[in-house]
Structure 1
Amino acid sequence: MFDPLTAPLSEVVLRLLVATSLGALIGLEREQSESAGRFAGSRTFPLFALYGALTFAFFGGTLLAALGVLVVPLTVAYAARVWTDGDLGLTTLTSALLTAILGAMTMHSDRAATLAVVVGGAVTVLLSVKDPLHEFADRIDASEQLASAKFILIVLVVLPSLPDRSMDALYGLNPRFVWLMVVFVTGLGFVAYVLGSVLGAERGIALTGVVGGFVSSTATTVSMAGKTAQNETLYRICAFAVVTASIVMFPRALVEVSVVNPDLLPAVALPLGVMTAVGAVSAALLYWRTAADESIETEEMKNPFRLRPALVFGAVFAVVLLVSEYANQWFGASGVYATAFFSGLADVDAMTITLSRLAAQGTVSTEVATTGIVIAAIANTLVKAGLALFLGTYRLGRLVSIVLGVVVLSGVAMLVVPV
Structure 2
Amino acid sequence: MVVPTADPVVEVLVSLLLALGLGGLIGLEREQSESGGSFAGSRTFPLFALYGALVQAFFPSALPLAVGVIVVPLTVAYVGKVWYERDIGLTTLVAALLTVLLGAMTTHSDRGAVVAIVVAGAVTVLLSVKDPVHEFADRIDAHERRASAKFVLVVLVVFPALPDRPVDALYGLNPRLVWLMVVFVTGLGFVAYLLGRVLGTERGIAVTGVVGGFVSSTATTVSMAEKTVQNATLYHVCGFAVVTASIVMFPRALIEVTVVNPALLPSVAPPLGAMTAVGVVAAGVLYWRTAAEETVEPEELKNPFRLRPALLFGAVFAVVLLVSESANEWFGSSGVYATAFLSGLADVDAMTITLSRLAADGTVSSEVATTGIVIAAIANTLVKVALAWLIGTRELGKLVTVVLGVVVVSGVVILGV
| Common fold by TM > 0.5 | yes
Partner AA of 1:287 in structure 2: Y
Q: Distance in 1 between matches of 2:29 and 2:373?
A: 45
1:257 aligns with 2:257: yes
Report the 3-state secondary structure (helix = DSSP H, G, I; strand = E; otherwise coil) of the residue aligned with 2:346.
Answer: coil
Once the two structures are superposed, residues 199-230 of structure 1 have per-residue CA deviations (whole angstroms, 9 ceiling, x without a partner) of 11231011101100110111100010111111
CA contact (8 A) 1:340 1:351 kept: yes
Aligned match of 1:203: 203
After superposition, residues 18-417 of structure 1 pair within 5 angstroms as: 18-292=18-292, 294-417=294-417
Give the Å deviation of 1:21.
Answer: 2.2
Once the two structures are superposed, residues 309-335 of structure 1 have per-residue CA deviations (whole angstroms, 9 ceiling, x without a partner) of 000000001111111111111111111
Structure 2 spans left out of the alignment, 5+ residues: none
CA contact (8 A) 2:275 2:411 kept: yes
* Distance change in 2, residues 1:292/1:97 (3 Å): farther
Q: Distance in 1 between matches of 2:294 and 2:46?
A: 46
Give the Å deviation of 1:26.
Answer: 1.7
Q: Distance in 1 between matches of 2:109 and 2:330?
A: 52
Report the 3-state secondary structure (helix = DSSP H, G, I; strand = E; otherwise coil) of the residue aligned with 2:248.
Answer: helix
Q: Distance in 2 between matches of 1:293 and 1:176?
A: 50
Partner AA of 2:343 in structure 1: S
Q: Distance in 1 between matches of 2:256 and 2:90?
A: 37
Partner AA of 2:186 in structure 1: T
Give the Å deviation of 1:19.
Answer: 2.3
* Distance change in 2, residues 1:266/1:37 (3 Å): farther
Q: Distance in 1 between matches of 2:78 and 2:49?
A: 19
Q: Distance in 1 between matches of 2:210 and 2:292?
A: 16
CA contact (8 A) 2:223 2:299 kept: no
CA contact (8 A) 2:224 2:298 kept: no
Give the Å deviation of 1:137.
Answer: 1.0
Q: Distance in 1 between matches of 2:368 and 2:295?
A: 41
Partner AA of 2:360 in structure 1: A
Per the normalisation by structure 2, the TM-score is 0.96
Give the Å deviation of 1:14.
Answer: 2.8
Give the Å deviation of 1:182.
Answer: 0.6
Give the Å deviation of 1:405.
Answer: 0.5
Give the Å deviation of 1:292.
Answer: 4.0
* Distance change in 2, residues 1:222/1:82 (3 Å): same
Q: Distance in 2 between matches of 1:167 and 1:297?
A: 47
Report the 3-state secondary structure (helix = DSSP H, G, I; strand = E; otherwise coil) of the residue aligned with 1:302.
Answer: coil
* Distance change in 2, residues 1:167/1:395 (3 Å): same
Partner AA of 1:307 in structure 2: L
Paired residue total: 415
Give the Å deviation of 1:413.
Answer: 0.9
* Distance change in 2, residues 1:398/1:321 (3 Å): same
Q: Distance in 2 between matches of 1:86 and 1:233?
A: 56
Report the 3-state secondary structure (helix = DSSP H, G, I; strand = E; otherwise coil) of the residue aligned with 1:163.
Answer: coil
Q: Distance in 2 between matches of 1:211 and 1:290?
A: 20
Give the Å deviation of 1:278.
Answer: 0.1
Q: Distance in 2 between matches of 1:337 and 1:116?
A: 48
Q: Distance in 1 between matches of 2:68 and 2:137?
A: 33
Give the Å deviation of 1:44.
Answer: 1.6
* Distance change in 2, residues 1:27/1:297 (3 Å): farther
Q: Distance in 2 between matches of 1:29 and 1:294?
A: 41
Once the two structures are superposed, residues 315-373 of structure 1 have per-residue CA deviations (whole angstroms, 9 ceiling, x without a partner) of 00111111111111111111111111111111111111111111111111111111111
Percent identity of paired positions between Structure 1 and Structure 2: 76
Partner AA of 2:233 in structure 1: T
Give the Å deviation of 1:7.
Answer: 6.6
Structure 1 spans left out of the alignment, 5+ residues: none
Partner AA of 2:349 in structure 1: D
Give the Å deviation of 1:302.
Answer: 0.7
Superposed CA RMSD:
1.7
Q: Distance in 1 between matches of 2:380 and 2:281?
A: 20
